[in-house]
Chain A
Amino acid sequence: MTAHTKTLIRGARLLGGEPQDVLIDGETVAAVGTGLDAEGARVIEAGGLVLLPGLVDLHTHLREPGREDSETVLTGTRAAAAGGYTAVHAMANTFPVADTAGVVEQVWRLGKESGYCDVQPVGAVTVGLEGKHLAELGAMHDSAANVRVFSDDGKCVDDAVIMRRALEYVKAFDGVVAQHAQEPRLTEGAQMNEGVVSAELGLGGWPAVAEESIIARDVLLAAHVGSRVHICHLSTAGSVEIVRWAKSKGWNVTAEVTPHHLLLTDELVRTYNPVYKVNPPLRTEADVLALRAALADGTIDCVATDHAPHPHEDKDCEWPAAAMGMVGLETALSVVQQTMVDTGLLDWAGVADRMSLRPAAISGIAGQGRPVAAGEPANLTLVDPDYRGDVDPAGFASRSRNTPYEGRELPGRVTHTFLRGRATVVDGKLA
């Protein structure tokens, strides 16, 4: 697609505000205003639709290399585009682990080839995610993949000294360590949130304190060495309090929450259906409400999907044998609309901030999470907020179907996604 193309998005509610026209010329936004000239442009009548900057996911499992049976960079980025994303951060727990320049460059290159969204590889903090020796963080940063976010996600960097060194080391290139906060000894054999429901179901408990104690340690460590730290998929009310306290001290702490932790609770585990099995686990109603309030007031910086595809057989089994994780890219915006917008906690400008601007800023990814304004890259998402429909996993672009929302009615639908001016989704279908 080398031809110089123009697209006019006519009458979209920019960030949910008044209708505006947005003219895309080539890879950039040429003009934003009313009554823009449509000459030579393909016109998208966007009356009633909300226009957002392309969404940015800080936490995506694309599974390639190694588990191409559950997802590939291509299928994962197609799912991302379908969900309104123009950039994803590919987590490092692949096979082999993304702990060398070679692996992150491979993922980065596959992302370029896919063409559906930008793929920014996340590098492992430690070799093999084993928490013992620092991976070559500098080499991954200096590679073509230009890694700035490092995470052993799926595993916690539980050794305090390794965590301290990692926090310090990445300062040399303005990197950030994204911690999967899970005290390992407190979560041996953990299957679900520890509380009233786990006591009844006889499933091993994953106590909130196992998350909160690591977050408390890490914000103190980050403060001590003057580094920044990012907390992955915060899931408890107590974690919110710790992050709020750390921020009140002026410490450089950021945090993310997943869509499923904004909506679902551990009551669903009563079905013993492993589609609800996820790490960190679904918590209680009180936690859900605290997370929503924290996302609204900015204590939690952003929404990240933790999109975790798994093949059918890994979920079609008894609970303890099942894999942890849920796909999320194609339902994230709808869940955020239901839990945050339709409840009045956040307006669409807030959604743009939490799902695009802030995650891009935390990562430092170029050309993403920019305001919708003349001269900016044309990474854009159009949403129909009035749409209502049941989630049908058969229609997913992802290779996996492990969604907790099957058959559930969710609001909103992505109608168009533009990656640097090129439509990746048109009328709700992948282009």
Chain B
Amino acid sequence: MMRHLISAADLTRDDAVLILDTAEEMARVADRPIKKLPTLRGRTVVNLFFEDSTRTRISFEAAEKRLSADVINFTAKGSSVSKGESLKDTAQTLEAMGVDAVVIRHGASGAPFRLATSGWIDAAVINAGDGTHQHPTQALLDAFTLRRRLVGPDAGLGQDLAGRRVTIVGDILHSRVARSNVDLLHTLGAHVTLVAPPTLVPVGVENWPCEVSYSLDKVLDRSDAVMMLRVQRERMNAAYFPTEREYARRYGLDGERMAKMPADAIVMHPGPMVRGMEITAEVADSPRCTVVEQVTNGVSVRMAVLYLLLGGNEPAVAQNRSAPASEENHAS
């Protein structure tokens, strides 16, 4: 296992499957009355959020606390960053306080990579979303959700997503979720199709391991999952599309379109949803929509990532559960 998690592209198939399998173990913890493992007791994790985020930060915090880590939350607003302190100085300051891992969300693409590779700090770095680059734990929780739904929680163990067809719809150009998912789903053997108006597809997409379609209707009947991305209304002002209504008509998912999908196909969304824009309420509230499950799964996947990055070679959760004492014996 690697020391940092910066990009979904850095994960091998076996790395990814290990994370998903570990996340299944973690998910079982969530079903227990006491949802807590001692695995990261005495370890300190800082959530370093330079960009506004509610769900990702809370998800990481929940994961860290369930693993018994000490958690420090840092948000840029009102901090020394707003007084001009650099990323380097902020990170070094936090590390000097004895931080073992940094979970970073930053508006600049590449900021987590810089943090991990510039010799500024020694702590493990987990990318919680950087600019329009990557959001690897989102891709992992999406893959986890796909595997659970399409293969099954138990049947899925050890399995990848070979042959599954995933369609990602929306603002691909500005989406770190799309980039991470294309990388990870391809690694796991799935066929990915991106759907967007041509203005929201990046120049250079031809090198990505996926297909591109400008028509949602043409690909619905051959999608095992359709992942809708949030489309910000501001994009309209930069002439990416003419009006909100036209976008919704051409690329929004409504009940009529959902009916064209195969019977067991699912609808995914990383949230936050813009109802009436990329997704109608009818679809968002349907049992085929996994948006709430994705949130739940996010905690399990982030627990798995933290455990695998920080727990080293200590026993997996299953053994911890059956023989709690061995956790201390094996602690490094």
Residue ranges of A at the interface with B (Cβ–Cβ < 8 Å): 191, 194-203, 205, 207, 271-273, 313, 316-321
In-complex Cβ contact of B130 among A202, A313, A317, A321 (8 A): A202
**Which residues of B have CB within 8 Å of A191?**
109
Q: Which residues of B contact A200 (CB under 8 A)?
A: 179, 204, 207-208
Are B208 and A318 in contact (CB-based, < 8 A)?
no
The 4 closest A-B pairs by CB, nearest first: A199-B204, A202-B133, A272-B110, A202-B132
Instruction: Tell me, in angstroms, the Cα distance from A198 to B117 when the chains sit together.
Output: 20
Chain B 109-146 interface mask (CB, 8 Å, partner A; 1/0): 11101100110000000000011111000000000000
Chain A residues within an 8 Å CB radius of B87: 317-318, 321
CA distance A191 to B107 in the complex (A): 14
The complex places the Cα of A199 from the Cα of B202 at a distance, in Å, of 6
Distance in angstroms from A266 CB to nearest chain B CB is 10
Check if A196 sits within 8 Å of B204, measured CB to CB.
Answer: yes
B230 within 8 Å of A (CB atoms): no
CA distance A88 to B318 in the complex (A): 70
Please, how many angstroms separate the alpha-carbon atoms of A161 and B176 in the complex? 41
CB-contacts of B193-242 with A (<8 A):
202-208
Asked whether A203 lies within 8 Å of B203 as measured between CB atoms, the reply is no
B interface residues, tally (CB under 8 Å): 27
Contacts of B281 in A (CB 8 A): none
Q: Which chain A residue shows the least CB distance to B179?
A: A202
Known: A201-B133, A202-B132, A202-B134. A319 touches B110 (CB 8 A): yes
Contact A194 B110 (CB under 8 A): no
Q: Is B86 engaged at the interface, CB distance under 8 Å to the other chain?
A: yes
For A201, give its contact among B86, B107, B109, B118 (CB under 8 Å): B109
Q: Provide a sorted-by-A list of 14 A–B residue pairs whose CB atoms are within 8 angstroms.
A: A194-B203, A194-B204, A198-B203, A199-B202, A202-B179, A271-B117, A272-B109, A273-B118, A316-B118, A317-B86, A319-B114, A320-B108, A320-B109, A320-B131
What's the minimum C-beta distance from A237 to chain B, rounded to whole angstroms?
16
Check A319/B203 contact, CB under 8 A, given A199-B208, A200-B179.
no
Contacts of A202 in B (CB 8 A): 109-110, 130-134, 176, 179
Nearest CB on B from A194, distance (A)? 5
Contact residues in A for B134 (Cβ distance below 8 Å): 202
Residue numbers in A under 8 Å from B88 (CB-CB): 316-317
A-contact 0/1 string along B84-107, CB 8 Å cutoff: 001110000000000000000011
A195 with B110: CB separation less than 8 A: no
Give CA–CA (A271, B116) in the complex, Å: 11
Return A356 CB to nearest CB of chain B, in Å: 39
Chain B residues near A201 (CB, 8 Å)?
109-110, 133
With both chains docked as a complex, state the minimum distance between the C-beta of B127 and any C-beta of chain A, in angstroms: 11
List the B side residues contacting A320 at CB < 8 Å.
107-110, 131
In the complex the two chains form, is A199's CB within 8 Å of B109's CB? no
A199-B202, A273-B114 given; name 11 further pairs at CB < 8 Å.
Answer: A197-B204, A198-B203, A200-B207, A202-B179, A205-B202, A271-B117, A316-B118, A317-B114, A318-B111, A319-B109, A319-B110
When chains A and B are docked, how far (Å) is the Cα of A149 from the Cα of B206?
Answer: 42
**How far apart sit A272 and B202, CA to CA, in the bound complex (Å)?**
19
